[in-house]
Amino acid sequence: MEVRVYLPTPLRQYAEGREYVVVSASTVGEALQRLVERFSGLRRHLYSDSGQLRSFVNVFVNEEDIRHLNGEDTPLKEGDTIYIIPAIAGGEGHA
């Protein structure tokens, strides 16, 4: 099944500047593996040295967080969209 994987702006430099990449995959994990096989520079931003998806990397299929589905085993269907959204922290509190 072909799905689109949308990349956040900071990661596009590791994927030839692309906003999204089309991959063929039946699960989220497979789609992400195809993505990093094609653009190896993305691997260190998405996965830890032990091969686990980094905790600050949020992945959604359509509008559902995969943490509330089956994680990387979440099945995909033709035309699904995967969004990679890095967690953002910081800012300044006001007293």
Kindly state whether residue 8 falls inside one of the protein's structural domains. yes
25: CATH: 3.10.20.30
On whether residue 92 sits in a domain, the answer given is no
Asked if residue 75 belongs to a domain, the reply is yes
**Based on the structure, what is the number of domains in the chain?**
1
Q: Is residue 30 part of a domain?
A: yes
**Is 28 inside any structural domain?**
yes
In a domain, 57, yes or no: yes
Give pLDDT tens digits for 15-36: 999 999 999 999 999 999 999 9
pLDDT exceeds 60 at position 90: no
The domain containing residue 78 runs over which residues? 2-86
At residue 95, the pLDDT reads: 56
Domain-embedded: residue 93: no
Instruction: Give the pLDDT of residue 47.
Output: 95
Q: What is the structure's pLDDT at 91?
A: 55
Say if 74 falls within a structural domain.
Answer: yes
pLDDT (tens digit, 9 = 90+) per residue, 19-78?
A: 999 999 999 999 999 999 999 999 999 999 999 999 899 999 999 999 999 999 999 999
Which tokens in the block code for residue 28? 């989220």
Buried b (16+ CB within 10 A) or exposed e, 66-94: beeeeebebebeeebebbbeeeeeeeeee
DSSP string for the chain: -EEEEE--GGGGGGGTT-SEEEEE-SBHHHHHHHHHHH-GGGHHHHB-TTSPBPTTEEEEETTEEGGGTTGGG-B--TT-EEEEEE---------
